[in-house]
Structure 1
Amino acid sequence: MLIRGQAVALFLGYQYISVTLSKNKMFIFRRYSSFPKLPKCEFTPEKYQGPSLEKIKSIRKTHINPIITTYYGKPLAIHQGYKQWLFDLEGKRYLDMFGGICTVSVGHSHPRITEAVNEQMKTLVHCSNVYLHPQIHQYSEKLAAKLPNNLKVIYFVNSGSEANDLAILMARCHTKKQEIMSLKNCYHGMTYQTMALTCSGHYRYPVVQNPGFLRTMNPDVYKGLWGGNCCRDSPVQADRSCDCTNECEAGINYLKQFENDITYEAPKTGIAAFFAESIQGVGGTVQFPKNYIKGVKEKVNSMGGLFVADEVQTGFGRTGEHFWGFQSHGIEPDIVTMAKGIGNGFPLAAVATSPEIAQSLTKATHFNTFGGNPVSCVVGSTVLDIIEDENLQENAHNLGSYLLLELKKLKEESLYIGDVRGKGLMIGVEFVSDRVTKEPLSSEKIMKVWEGCLDYGLIVGKGGINGNVFRIKPPMCITKEDADFTVEVLRQTLKTI
């Protein structure tokens, strides 16, 4: 094709190519027959009029906490969001399949939340809890109705780290024991105390850790010592042989390991609490074998300890079949911590427990300046209404199951995918260089796929101790077209490595 001295823009297949051609230069374009095309979106973002990207980067380098690193080689600067969509400073659209790190539950800038916040801010923005205001009372009653009967007392805080930190204090005060146990590979926050609860070297500073924290083996049925092809509560199972009959043998073996650790690590008087995410999030969407969590809770309770369910990522309908992740394990926790999706990105978190356990914190004054403020309670209440009115839990179940099965098909095409797992719209895809040894795919190849996804307009997260697990945890309002686009983008980017 010979074009002289003019700009040309061509559609070849699905690929849009824009290039300026100079005099007497010949350009040959390659046709792509299956270039993934972003699903339609009727929303038009506002034109960005703020500081330039270079100015933002300069300010960040000078004034922002240096440990806060950005994703991608060229940092993505976001200007606006709408439902499952994000728009950068230039107006380019992206499908957000990470949900602001599993935080945006009902959709970016949901109009009902915007309206509710505006109305509340006209009336009352802040009111300390030493006074009464109706929003905290109405919301706590509505939230408690979503929980098991024994969990009727709600403490409002501002983040998941705060919630878990408070749960540690609550468990120790109630049981009069000190030791807290968690799973290896877990993530429960980054306050000084929850950093000791979290068990991942990525989140461990080289300082003396808080005492009184124990860990036990992570019951990972894909990479751990035990696991089979029917261990997980998921439409997709690990590629491992399984000889189970009536009970999950992997669950039994990991439970024995936990009991062994209790025997050797904990005082004879037992532990104050055991913390567990219902599905590990930051650790790479790790699911536990059947009956493991139930067995742990029974053991801990028998020794006078409490079981704390960390629902920061798995709560509020994300796992689809149930409103709470712990329901999949057939238990009623003693304490539940929640954040992220509770406020659809608004700073809101909570701890729920029984009246009896709540009494343990009356021995001194507990106060949180912003916890349960009128605006946050209105946001939380509106989120609950949206989940119900728009059938988002059902959507998470149906589309999550569909997406998991489509990703399983992709796994059959690509030897680089070692495992697909998850429940509802909490999904992990683990990449390996060898399916037999399960050696993680190199960081160079992971980054090539990850950056390639962004080039197509797809945002996914990364997790796992080696950063080789793609985390797919989108707003629960996504569509089948969004799921298909996600799979096709992964298919195309995997072809580049």
Structure 2
Amino acid sequence: MSRKNRSEVANEEVEDRYEEYLMPIWKSLNVPIERASGCVLEDFEGNEYLDVFSGISVTNVGHGNDAVVEAAKNQLDELVHSCSYVHPHQQAGRLAERLAEVTPGDLKKSFFCNSGTEAVEGAVKLARKYTGSKEVIALEMGFHGRTLGSLALTGNHSYKHEMGPTMNDATHAPAPYRYRSEYRDLSDEEFAERTAATIEHVIGTHTSDDVAAIVVEPIMGEGGIVVPPAGWLEQVQEIAHDHDALLVVDEVQTGYGRTGKLFASEHADVTPDILTQAKGIANGLPLGAFTASERVADAFESGDHLSTFGGNPVACAASLATIDELQNGIVDDAASKGTWLSERLAELESEFGVVGDTRGRGLMHGVELVDPAETGPRGVAAAPDAELAASVAKTLRERGIIMGVGGYYKNVMRFQPPLTISRNQLERTVSALREALREESTDE
């Protein structure tokens, strides 16, 4: 049997097993993956794809990064598991110390878990313990996970379906989503003030003023790469503190160099009270964390929280190597590449009527696709075009490029590649997107 025929069988087998034995929730991009290296994925037939999504913003230092793989392999020979909260081991201590060094301000003590969802739930639990309050405010369109607690904070009904009610003491404020806001024509300063003020309004109308935390993403990922204006995050923290609440900044998608700084909150004059992390923290190994100042962290007492696999030695070793790689020029490169990408994507707005908005920071950008002939929600922008976004993603996939689609309306093309992506690879992606948009416009 030829390699191609063997591979075709393997491709088929992977998809068949998913259909037969996995719960019916997997979301296929129709590319079964056998191996990956750098920014390139390879399927079982030997076809290569440029990865512009990096496993939903995870493999920040590239697939199969040599230093990360070596660190994980070396740790496998020494210790695979001990339960970090029963038997102390070197790697968890070293990583916690490193996070105290690289996270903003006076953040010092970390709790390790396995995912971003767990990090968010743990952060809320800590905020409740520290403040003695119970209510939590998040943003409409925000995403913080899919378990019942984090799902209560996620501001999108499409993730919830029949899961409600979830946590009862969660409520939502409007997102700083300028493109579809009635305040879109205000200056950045005025827009920041107006949207931050809605949080104060929500506290006054939807809570009993017993707020433990305000939980926000510094850039909204699943919401459609929504970038708040300068000054907004600072005002949100001020509102939180005015109500004796904590600001929890969810950096699960934005952390570890994604926006051109190690953490996106560093673009603002803010030190979060609690910062949640996952995804890029260990470049693909399952690890999450939430980090707080010593004052806040010490509210936890023995037995208040635990994770059997959190702080796994192999994942911690991979994380330490990931941080080394990021600080060895990768974050700075992401910032400069992001400036170039922002300029190139902005050109699409004038070229194509179906491109309503482009936005982002570093290597986290979104292209919002619309139907210019129809008015969208609130009547302030063209209607979102989810069908077009799905079609463009399919066209790109057929041409060897994997790009995510997201946003509240499922109409935003998402650039979230490994930060090691080359300028040539970015140029190839932008050119392919331009060509796909041109073909779609011609078809109409």
Normalising by structure 2, report the TM-score.
0.93
Task: Name the residue aligned to 1:62.
Answer: 20
TM-superposition CA deviations, 1:278-307 (whole Å, max 9, x none):
100011000112212211111111211000
What are the within-5 Å matches in structure 2 for residues 16-31 of structure 1? none
| Aligned partner letter, 2:99 | L
Q: Does 1:296 align with 2:244?
A: no
Q: Which has the larger radius of gyration?
A: 1
TM-superposition CA deviations, 1:332-381 (whole Å, max 9, x none):
11000000000111101100001222222206342211111211110000
Q: Does 1:489 align with 2:432?
A: yes
Structure 1 residues 305 and 441 mapped into 2: Cα distance closer, same or farther (>3 Å)? closer
Task: Name the residue aligned to 2:222.
Answer: 282
Per-residue deviation, 1:444: 3.3
Structure 1 residues 366 and 255 mapped into 2: Cα distance closer, same or farther (>3 Å)? closer
TM-superposition CA deviations, 1:369-406 (whole Å, max 9, x none):
111121111000000111122x1111110111101101
Counterparts of 1:190 and 1:493 in 2: how far apart (Å)? 33
Per-residue deviation, 1:441: 4.7
Deviates more, 1:45-54 or 1:95-104: 45-54
Counterparts of 1:301 and 1:493 in 2: how far apart (Å)? 47
Counterparts of 1:388 and 1:361 in 2: how far apart (Å)? 31
Counterparts of 2:255 and 2:26 in 1: how far apart (Å)? 26
Per-residue deviation, 1:102: 0.8
Q: Does 1:225 align with 2:182?
A: yes
Task: Name the residue aligned to 2:356.
Answer: 418
Per-residue deviation, 1:209: 2.0
Counterparts of 1:305 and 1:428 in 2: how far apart (Å)? 32
* Matched residue SS, 1:263: helix
Deviates more, 1:161-170 or 1:112-121: 112-121
Task: Name the residue aligned to 2:366.
Answer: 428
Which has a greater percent of helix? 2
Please tell me whether the aligned partners of residues 369 and 388 of structure 2 are also in contact (alpha carbons under 8 angstroms). Answer: no
Per-residue deviation, 1:123: 1.2
TM-superposition CA deviations, 1:91-116 (whole Å, max 9, x none):
11111011111111100011111111
Q: Does 1:128 align with 2:83?
A: yes
Structure 1 residues 394 and 54 mapped into 2: Cα distance closer, same or farther (>3 Å)? same
Counterparts of 1:67 and 1:263 in 2: how far apart (Å)? 38
> Which blocks of at least 5 consecutive residues in structure 1 are unaligned?
1-44, 229-241
Task: Name the residue aligned to 1:447.
Answer: 390
* Matched residue SS, 1:273: strand
Please tell me whether the aligned partners of residues 96 and 474 of structure 1 are also in contact (alpha carbons under 8 angstroms). Answer: yes
Counterparts of 1:192 and 1:340 in 2: how far apart (Å)? 20
Task: Name the residue aligned to 2:211.
Answer: 271
RMSD (CA atoms): 1.9
Task: Name the residue aligned to 1:99.
Answer: 54
Task: Name the residue aligned to 2:308.
Answer: 369
Normalising by structure 1, report the TM-score.
0.83
List structure 1 runs of 4+ shifted beyond 4 angstroms: 45-51
Task: Name the residue aligned to 2:165.
Answer: 208
| Aligned partner letter, 1:494 | L
Counterparts of 2:304 and 2:205 in 1: how far apart (Å)? 36
Structure 1 residues 469 and 435 mapped into 2: Cα distance closer, same or farther (>3 Å)? farther
Please tell me whether the aligned partners of residues 180 and 274 of structure 1 are also in contact (alpha carbons under 8 angstroms). Answer: yes
Per-residue deviation, 1:255: 2.1
Please tell me whether the aligned partners of residues 47 and 91 of structure 1 are also in contact (alpha carbons under 8 angstroms). Answer: no
* Matched residue SS, 2:80: coil
What are the within-5 Å matches in structure 2 for residues 264-413 of structure 1? 264-268=205-209, 270-320=210-260, 322-362=261-301, 364-389=303-328, 391-413=329-351
TM-superposition CA deviations, 1:421-471 (whole Å, max 9, x none):
000001000001118833345443322211111111111101112211001
Task: Name the residue aligned to 2:414.
Answer: 471
Aligned residues: 431
| Aligned partner letter, 1:413 | E
| Counterpart among 254, 278, 281 of residue 195 in structure 2 | 254
TM-superposition CA deviations, 1:466-489 (whole Å, max 9, x none):
211001000000111011111110
Counterparts of 2:81 and 2:196 in 1: how far apart (Å)? 47
Structure 1 residues 365 and 441 mapped into 2: Cα distance closer, same or farther (>3 Å)? closer
Structure 1 residues 49 and 457 mapped into 2: Cα distance closer, same or farther (>3 Å)? closer
Task: Name the residue aligned to 1:237.
Answer: none
TM-superposition CA deviations, 1:100-155 (whole Å, max 9, x none):
11111100011111111111111111122222221111111112100234210010
Task: Name the residue aligned to 1:22.
Answer: none
Structure 1 residues 48 and 289 mapped into 2: Cα distance closer, same or farther (>3 Å)? farther
Counterparts of 1:196 and 1:132 in 2: how far apart (Å)? 33
Please tell me whether the aligned partners of residues 440 and 466 of structure 1 are also in contact (alpha carbons under 8 angstroms). Answer: no
Per-residue deviation, 1:409: 1.4
